[in-house]
Amino acid sequence: MTTLQQALLVSIDKNKDKNALWVNNKYYTYKKLDEISNRYSEIYSKNNSNFVCILSEKNIYCYASILSVVKDGRTYVPLNPKFPVEKNKQIFNSSGAKILVVESKFINQAKFIVNSKSRKKVLIIVPDKKLPAFKNKISNCEIYSKKDFHLSNKKKFTFRKTNPLTICYILFTSGSTGLPKGVPINNSNLMSYLKNVYAKYKPNFRDKFSHNFDLTFDLSIHDIFLSWISGACLYVTPDDQLLNPGYFIKKHNITMWFSVPSLGINMYKMKQLKKNIFPSIRQTLFCGEALPSTLVEKWSEAAPNSKIDNLYGPTETTIAITSYRWKKDQSSKECFNGIVPIGIPFKGQKTYLSEPKNFKTKFKKIKELCFSGPQVFKGYLKNKKMNIEKFLRKKDKTLWYKTGDLVEKNLNGNFIYLGRLDRQIKVKGFRVEIQEVENLIKKVTKSNYSAVIGWPLVDESKYSYSGMIVFILKQIKIKDELIIKRLGKKLPFYSIPQKIIRLKKFPINFNGKIDYKKLSSLTGYEN
């Protein structure tokens, strides 16, 4: 099987009567999920768009629509209800999509997102409600709601054929300009990843996968598709248990756990990681942030039957591209500053350590980590400038993706993560461009001075944060609450600073630039 479409169709046929999904307190078998997804296919046939944007909370209609897009040989582009509507519109326009699947409660967002005089007719699907009243309220659109789903489940479809170069999904990451960067991942990229993790973790139809991530976070792709091609069941963590999922794990006897480290740290702080409290977990994966060794030690006590792997990989390298297996008697010695190594590349992936430009350090072994191989994407969507900046071409004409992450290799051959080359940080597992946030604050405050730092640190990590602080001048008259409110209209939830500190003047370093280390000291901790 060379495409995700082929792998899913085989798994659905093989596992018809097994549970594929648990969401909102209800189970759905592979047969039922397949039947619901088929209802979209006849409507898709009315539009030739390769790209389908989905704006929905996590529910059966959302997951059925994701499956339907893949089965139909089209490209899945998730939008996020938590994002500012302007950002969702930018993603929709950048993708070039002409199909939008939208949950009924977000129909007003949809009206704003598709509002464009120059756009060709957009097909809108509202799968969860009958909405005749909206038929004439969105110009230049053709709207289908639940009442239009007349498809018989017995109807056979000839789906579009896919190949290794067919784009499976496009995710949009932050950019220093404020415009989202589209990352297209094709079948060759994704199937290389899925084959590697399938061989490594050997999932099967008895497994129960956790699902904690927003759908615009690429780690969600791992949960959804690895579970479904394995005949396993995907358990969607209820929103009211996302920060306190201990009961959820025990109730469903989750066997495959995947989360960002900050969620595990929060569970520890809430005293959920008691000894042997999660005996059902057989495999734990952490990714998205630097992983503190203290968390792994506590987790291994709480889930004594689980192997624990630290995964690493930018969105551009397809979900994760290196892994490190925690070993009780050895790994603590390999940790650097209390952070677990990111390990070695998956099979078939290659690394190159580049001398970073305009970056000085007394440690000669510190390099920028670069990748090539079948998991590495081919380039950003419609962004030649960024493609030139982010790829390195060696003399043998091999293209290497420059991650911007600084690493060194230890004596055991494992990579140690040392931080970012640029000012990008991780907040709650999401990448945030500090410059983007600072530029917006300057506009809101009508000032030439603003500074943002990550705060507070996630446990012992020096690179991941659970929030941010913004510094502005004391004389700025606009109130803090209004600043935060205006930022919230333009930034995703994880990019909104939690605290504002006002200064008489900004500390300046010897280069005449803002002294960020000095700012960090004003919060009571060191960066």
CA–CA separation, 299 vs 279, rounded Å?
11
Query: β-pairing, 424-427 with 430-433?
Result: antiparallel
Task: Tell me: cis bond preceding 292? Omega within 30 of 0 counts.
Answer: no
pLDDT of residue 155: 59
Quick one: tokens of 3?
């495409």
- pLDDT one-digit tens code per residue, 451-488: 899 888 776 555 678 889 999 999 998 999 999 999 98
Query: Based on C-alpha coordinates, what's the Rg of the chain?
Result: 23
Of the pLDDT bands very low, low, confident and very high (cuts 50, 70, 90), residue 313 is very high
Quick one: tokens of 134?
């909206």
Fold matches, 4-8+28-162 and 208-420: yes
- pLDDT one-digit tens code per residue, 380-429: 999 999 999 999 988 788 899 999 998 999 999 999 998 778 777 888 88
CA–CA separation, 32 vs 42, rounded Å?
17
pLDDT of residue 135: 54
Structural domain boundaries in the chain: 4-8+28-162, 208-420, 424-521
Exposure letters 444-475 (e unless 16+ CB within 10 A, then b): bbeeebbbbbbbebbbbbbbbbbebbbbbeee
- Within its chain, how far is the Cα of 8 from the centroid? 21
Burial of 265 (0-12, 13-18, 19+ CB in 10 A): buried
Question: What pTM did the predictor assign?
Answer: 0.85
- pLDDT one-digit tens code per residue, 53-99: 999 999 999 999 999 999 999 999 999 998 989 999 999 999 999 99
Torsion region of 373: left, alpha or beta (phi above 0 gives left; psi -120 to 50 gives alpha): left
HSE-up (13 A, CA, CB side) for residue 490:
16
Q: One-letter amino acid identity for 465?
A: Y
- pLDDT one-digit tens code per residue, 108-135: 899 899 976 556 789 999 998 876 555 5
Beta strands in 33-96 (DSSP E): 51-55, 75-78
CATH class of 424-521: alpha beta
| CATH 3.40.50.980, domain 4-8+28-162, yes or no | yes
Q: Which of 126-130, 144-148, 214-218, 372-376 has the lowest mean pLDDT?
A: 144-148
Task: Find the helix or strand (DSSP H, E) in which 299 lies.
Answer: helix 293-302
Task: Please check whether residue 500 is in contact with residue 480, taking contact to mean a CB–CB distance below 8 angstroms.
Answer: yes
- Give the closest residue to 433 by CA, choosing from 147, 250, 174, 247: 174
Please list the alpha-helical segments (H only) found in 202-230.
Answer: 219-221, 227-229
Of the pLDDT bands very low, low, confident and very high (cuts 50, 70, 90), residue 362 is very low
Of the pLDDT bands very low, low, confident and very high (cuts 50, 70, 90), residue 511 is very low
pLDDT of residue 455: 84
Of the pLDDT bands very low, low, confident and very high (cuts 50, 70, 90), residue 334 is very high
CATH for 208-420 is 3.40.50.12780
**Span 23-38, average pLDDT:** 96
